[in-house]
Structures are given as structure tokens and as C-alpha cells.
């Protein structure tokens, strides 16, 4: 939309959303889901320990947390094209650098950098670009469409990376992923994000919503609703990250055989997409607070059920479908909750401020869960910790939904 335009907000069929969606699919697959497979191949080749390898990923995610707010604020000022296309170029260069490493120090530089640029390439900056173009209240269709693209990233890239590892080794795989970021992600981000539209006064309602990003964030962080949401999404990030990195050995520890675990895990990605499609079809205009309040209750129930179910495929498949579906929907809730419960101003900066503690917890959770396993010698304690985090997510979101007041026109 150009300034003053009355055209419809972007949806999943517009070149703007399709371009961003392609970039999301490739960025998630090459920058996030690729690490465990490549790290395992590296460790076998170079003799580095898991602690050494995953320490770099933890550092990178911590840096992403620190970068989340300035990235969001820059997008609010109309720099979405430069931020996202430039970050994809840098990510590609860092992947190429990673392919050359022989020393642990250079490995940390490359992987920590890749973690940091995720703050400018994954969902949060893409959501902010859509909200900048359409307005936070009219961004729902575009944000939902982006999550559908991103939901296929693990399904597409995990088999591709495994194929590449067998064909060209981990160094060659990294070079291919670097080319994907430079040739695909950077190109489509550059073409999809129209700098002329983003620099101009955005969606018409913006004229009635004054306030610089820093002043808006200063007002928002004084609201109890902000802190309730921060608790909820920080708990969610720790829960998701800790469970994702330990899901495979945890399920084996629960008595499931390898074939059952692999088959069940394969259901999570499609279930994420299915959950997002269902909520877009059945509840396209339902308040985010209502959708979120329902689905956050499923997480603790699912993890407690996993503690009790027998090691049978039917039961673990039901868990995978439920977990995948609600995990897919919570991504949409996360992208839409700011303009409904907090403010319609400075979406990128406020969303970035919420992402800071969440990204830090996502970085620390895998190591924390590993320490808990080491201390207890069992994944029982880890599963209970994940369930407790899921309970904290639900409690925080329910508090935010209960405390939030309807926003006035200038909020």
C-alpha cells in the first residue's frame, strides 16, 4: 500500500507475501533447522564435543535477543528492505565462512553471527514488515500466510540437508546453504519489500497513531499486560527450544523405539501447518486473546500426557499431532497479540522488546535441560520442567488476556 491507498491488505496470494514466504521457508530451513545435522557431522569429522558445538549456537541466539529491539525499531522507521535483504546476504557469507573453519574460534565467530542475523531474517522482522505495510490491525492474513510458508521449512530442508551431507559432506552442504541465502533469500527479500512504500507514511491509520518507537516502548513496558506477555512468551521460547533439542533422546528414554520416534516426529511439521490452516478457516476473525487462551491450555496437558502414555505409536502420534497443531497456532498468536492487547503503534519495536527475553531463554534452555538431565540421569525431570514451563506460558497469557483493556483509537 502506498500512502493514502485504500487497497486491500496483503494476503497469501500477493507477490509481497509470497516473496517473504519463500524467504521464510529458506531462512528457517538453512539458518535454524540445519544446525543439529551439520553439528553432528562436524563433531564426527573434527572431534569437537557437543558442548563446544552447541555453545556457539547458544551465543548466537543470545546475540539475536540483543538485536531484536533495534531491528524492530529500524523496520518501524521504514528500513525493512535493507534490514532483511542485507541480513540474508550476511547470513550467506557467514555460512560460507563456516564451511572454511578449522579452528574453534573461527567456528564461534561464524555460528554466533548466523544466530545474531536470525533476528533480522526470521518471523519477527517479517511480521514487522507486514504490519508496517498493512497496519497491525489488517496484517492478520499476511502473518498467517507467512507462518504457513515457514511451517514447511523443516519438512523441506531436513531431508535436503541429509541428502547433501551424504553427497558433498558438511562443508559442501554449508556452501549450498550459503548460496540459498545469497541467491534466494536476499533476492526475494529485496524484491518483496518495497522501500518506497515503507519509507513513506505507511497505512492510513498511522497518521492517527503518533509516537516514536522508543517513546511507545517506554509507555508499553509500564503496562502489566506487557510483563504478563513477556513471561508467557519467554516460558514458551524456553519450552519450545528445550523440547526441540531434546525431543529425540527424550522419547527414546520414555521407551519408544527409534522407528516410532522418527515416524512421530515427522508428523509435527504437517500438524503445525494444519493447525494454522484450521484457525484461519474456522476462526479468521476471532479475537487473538480467545484463540490464545484456548490453545495455551493444550501445552501442559500434552506434556503431562506424554509422561503417562505407554510406548505405543498411536499414543505418541496423537501427542505429536496435538503439539504440532498448537505450536503452529501460537506462532500466529505471537504475531498478532501486540496490536490487540498492547498498542497499535511501533509494532516492530514493541514486538522486538517482547522478543528480547524470549530469545535469550530460547538460547539457554537446551543447555539448561542438558544440565538437568546430567544431574538426574533421566529425562523424567526434563519432561516435568518442560511441562512446568508450559504451565507458566498458560498462566502468563491468561493473566494478560484478563488484564488487557480495549484499545482506544490512538493507542
The ranges assigned to domains in the chain are 15-202, 211-403
Within 8 A by CB and 6+ apart from 44, the residues are: none
DSSP assignment of 178-217: HHIIIIIIHHHHHHHS-HHHHHS--SGGGGGS---HHHHH
Cell of 316: 505418541
Give the CA distances from residue 363 to residues 25, 94, 234, 351, 369, in Å, rounded to whole numbers and listed in that order. 21, 19, 11, 18, 11
Give the CA distances from residue 81 to residues 77, 85, 409, in Å, rounded to whole numbers and listed in that order. 11, 6, 29
The class that CATH gives domain 211-403 is mainly alpha
Distance CA 128, CA 407 (A): 20
Q: Give phi and psi for 402, each to the nearest 5.
A: -75, -35
Distance CA 160, CA 166 (A): 10
Grid cell 562436524 — which residue? 42
Are the C-beta atoms of residues 354 and 335 closer than 8 Å to each other?
no
**What integer pLDDT is reported at residue 409 of this predicted model?**
56
**What integer pLDDT is reported at residue 4 of this predicted model?**
36
**What integer pLDDT is reported at residue 94 of this predicted model?**
97
Grid cell 526441540 — which residue? 244
Kindly give the interhelix angle for 313-337 and 123-134, rounded to the nearest 10 degrees: 40
Distance CA 289, CA 400 (A): 9
Cell of 321: 499431532
Task: Catalogue the long-range contacts made by 283-290 (C-beta closer than 8 Å, 24 or more residues apart).
Answer: 284/140, 287/340, 288/333, 288/336, 288/337, 288/340, 288/341, 289/337, 289/340, 289/341, 289/400, 289/401, 289/404, 290/401
Q: Which CATH number fits domain 15-202: 3.30.540.10, 3.40.718.10, 1.20.1250.20, 3.80.30.10?
A: 1.20.1250.20
Cell of 167: 553427497
**What integer pLDDT is reported at residue 248 of this predicted model?**
77
**What integer pLDDT is reported at residue 2 of this predicted model?**
37
**What integer pLDDT is reported at residue 198 of this predicted model?**
62
Distance CA 122, CA 127 (A): 9
Q: What is the pTM of this model?
A: 0.78
Q: Name residues of the chain where pLDDT drops below 70.
A: 1-12, 136-137, 195, 197-214, 407-411
**What integer pLDDT is reported at residue 32 of this predicted model?**
87
Distance CA 302, CA 240 (A): 13
What does the DSSP 8-state code read for residue 120?
G
Same fold yes or no, 15-202 and 211-403: yes
Interval 56-104: pLDDT, tens: 888 888 898 888 888 988 888 888 999 999 999 999 999 999 999 999 9
Amino acid at each position: 500500500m502506498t500512502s493514502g491507498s485504500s487497497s486491500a491488505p496483503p494476503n497469501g496470494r500477493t507477490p509481497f507475501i509470497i516473496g517473504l514466504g519463500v524467504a521464510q521457508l529458506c531462512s528457517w530451513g538453512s539458518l535454524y533447522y540445519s544446525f543439529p545435522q551439520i553439528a553432528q557431522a562436524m563433531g564426527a569429522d573434527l572431534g569437537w564435543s557437543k558442548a563446544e558445538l552447541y555453545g556457539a549456537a547458544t551465543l548466537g541466539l543470545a546475540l539475536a535477543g540483543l538485536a531484536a529491539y533495534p531491528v524492530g525499531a529500524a523496520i518501524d522507521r521504514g528500513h525493512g528492505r535493507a534490514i532483511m535483504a542485507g541480513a540474508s546476504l550476511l547470513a550467506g557469507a557467514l555460512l560460507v565462512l563456516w564451511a572454511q573453519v578449522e579452528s574453534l574460534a573461527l567456528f564461534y565467530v561464524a555460528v554466533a553471527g548466523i544466530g545474531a542475523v536470525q533476528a533480522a531474517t526470521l518471523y519477527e522482522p517479517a511480521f514487522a514488515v507486514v504490519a508496517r505495510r498493512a497496519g497491525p490491525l489488517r496484517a492478520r492474513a499476511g502473518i498467517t500466510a507467512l507462518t504457513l510458508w515457514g511451517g514447511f521449512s523443516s519438512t523441506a530442508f531436513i531431508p535436503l540437508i541429509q541428502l547433501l551431507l551424504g553427497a558433498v559432506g558438511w562443508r559442501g552442504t554449508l556452501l549450498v546453504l550459503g548460496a540459498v541465502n545469497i541467491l534466494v533469500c536476499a533476492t526475494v527479500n529485496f524484491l518483496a519489500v518495497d522501500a518506497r512504500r515503507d519509507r513513506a507514511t505507511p497505512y492510513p491509520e498511522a497518521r492517527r497513531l503518533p509516537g516514536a518507537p522508543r517513546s511507545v516502548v517506554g509507555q508499553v513496558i509500564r503496562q502489566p499486560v506487557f510483563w504478563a506477555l513477556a513471561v508467557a512468551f519467554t516460558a514458551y521460547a524456553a519450552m519450545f527450544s528445550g523440547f526441540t533439542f531434546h525431543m529425540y533422546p527424550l522419547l527414546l528414554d520414555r521407551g519408544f523405539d527409534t522407528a516410532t520416534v522418527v515416524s512421530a516426529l515427522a508428523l509435527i511439521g504437517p500438524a503445525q501447518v494444519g493447525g494454522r490452516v484450521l484457525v484461519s478457516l474456522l476462526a479468521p476473525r476471532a479475537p487473538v486473546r480467545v484463540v490464545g487462551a484456548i490453545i495455551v491450555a493444550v501445552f501442559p496437558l500434552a506434556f503431562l500426557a506424554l509422561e503417562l502414555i505407554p510406548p505405543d505409536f498411536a499414543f505418541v502420534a496423537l501427542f505429536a499431532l496435538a503439539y504440532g497443531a498448537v505450536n503452529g497456532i501460537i506462532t500466529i498468536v505471537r504475531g498478532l497479540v501486540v496490536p490487540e492487547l498492547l498498542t497499535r503503534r511501533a509494532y516492530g519495536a514493541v514486538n522486538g522488546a517482547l522478543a528480547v527475553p524470549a530469545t535469550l531463554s530460547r538460547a539457554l534452555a537446551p543447555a539448561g535441560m542438558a544440565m538437568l538431565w546430567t544431574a538426574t540421569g533421566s529425562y523424567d525431570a526434563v519432561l516435568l520442567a518442560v511441562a512446568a514451563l508450559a504451565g507458566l506460558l498458560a498462566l502468563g497469557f491468561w493473566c494478560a488476556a484478563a488484564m488487557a483493556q480495549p484499545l482506544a483509537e490512538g493507542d
